[in-house]
Amino acid sequence: MALKKGEITELEIESAAFKGKGVAKKDGLAVFIPNTAPGDLVKARIVKKKKKYREAKLLEIIEPSPKRIEPKCRHALVCGGCTWQFLPYSEQLVIKEQQVRDHVERIAGLSPGIVEPIVGCDQPFYYRNKMEYSFGSRRWLSDEEIRSDDYVDDSAFAAGLHAPGRYDKILNLKECHLQPEFSYKILDFVRSWCISNDIKPFDTYNNEGFIRHLVIRNSHFTEDLMVNIVTFRDEPDIVNRLCSGLIESFPEITTVINNINDQLNPTAVGRYEHVLYGPGYITDNIGHHSFKIDANAFFQTNTKQAEKLYRVAKEYAELSDDELLYDLYCGVGTLTLYLSDQVERAVGVELIDVAIKNAKSNAEDNSVSNTEFVLGDMKDTFNDHMLNKFGKPDCIITDPPRSGMHPDVVSRLGELAVPKLVYVSCNPSTMARDLKELKEHYRVEKVQPVDMFPQTYHIEAVARLTAID
């Protein structure tokens, strides 16, 4: 009889699936279980029943996999920030490479043999240059508290990361090993300061309170350090006092921003912002170019590893100095500028206005004169008018968000059939979905996985495509 919801069963984990869940097989069904590793023998409860699979919650590890190690962080098994701290980094790389191969074969319908060996990260901890923490009035309870027969109050000033799958519960962090140590210390200071000064966290149920997020950005190649305080209201007296406390306790901070998000959306991007201290941006380097990064602008989260990713894109593009390059979803122009000295002209396209502002400024600051940047939604901007203005490109780099490219953009790329297309992806499953459509017009020659985010299930990949004659 097929596994029923609520049923408790013993399972042996055979492999790892995308999003970091272990996979077991029983009654002809796949069962997905978080916090498990290949080789684990576990006891689990079925929590979700689907036609072709089940999802389960780990209750007990009966016999641990020989691959298991002790996580570095006490929060590793309950935090959504890390997925695989209980596995050696070498094993994480094996799983990630296999997942890219699986997506290429199963979703795109291509040979897994086109996937190259994964490029790993030299620094598997403390590699992030940006951490976005959240505040809330309800904390995530420990397993012991959840199992307790006594009532446990979850109301508290909580600061940390959202519990997996919960927008309303915050895991109250006591440590974190993804960004350098100052990151958690700043979070701890802000939490303590708010509690001492009776500053309320934002309550997602009642839409009240004050502090919503804390975003910390640091530069890898300079000493710049930004603290972005995201609040529900514009109250200069409170944030200026907090800013003064931060600067006094952390003199290494070079700029402090206050983003005001007075809307009901949960993002850390404010409707407007104030610069409280310093220039309002940080500067970092990729290759021999420097980049100004505003509080809400996109920049690769692992600066050092981004150079490896960009070297792959450069190799795959095989550019020459008489070519026209389009860089779709260009952000602050990092990849556009990185490749600009390889081509006659490069055109970047981006939806976010502050990113385009940064991109133009970055080109000017780096004395790059052969780039142009276009503001607009890709599905509307990447059209005949743009082609008539700048010309048909010899090569297109596309680096879309996690959701992949809009179908209209995929169709447009198919119609253009440019000689060379390089797809840089932060989500191999959506990249594979797009490659399935693009392979009607292009040969997908090779795919290179690059690990930008150790300890997590996230994986980047670069694909090289050439037009079918």
Q: What is the 3-state secondary structure (H, E, C) of the chain?
A: CCCCCCCEEEEECCEECCCCCEEEEECCEEEEECCCCCCCEEEEEEEEECCCEEEEEEEEEEECCCCCCCCCCCCCCCCCCCCCCCCCHHHHHHHHHHHHHHHHHHCCCCCHHHECCCECCCCCCCCCCEEEEEEEEEECCCHHHHHCCCCCCCEEEEEEEECCCCCCCEEECCCCCCCCCHHHHHHHHHHHHHHHCCCCECECCCCECCEEEEEEEECCCCCCEEEEEEECCCCHHHHHHHHHHHHHHCCCCCEEEEEECCCCCCCCCCCEEEEEECCCEEEEEECCEEEEEECCCCCCCCHHHHHHHHHHHHHHHCCCCCCEEEEECCCCCHHHHHHHCCCCEEEEEECCHHHHHHHHHHHHHCCCCCEEEEECCHHHHCCHHHHHHHCCCCEEEECCCCCCCCHHHHHHHHHHCCCEEEEEECCHHHHHHHHHHHCCCEEEEEEEEECCCCCCCCCEEEEEEEECC
Q: Which residues are annotated as catalytic?
A: 426
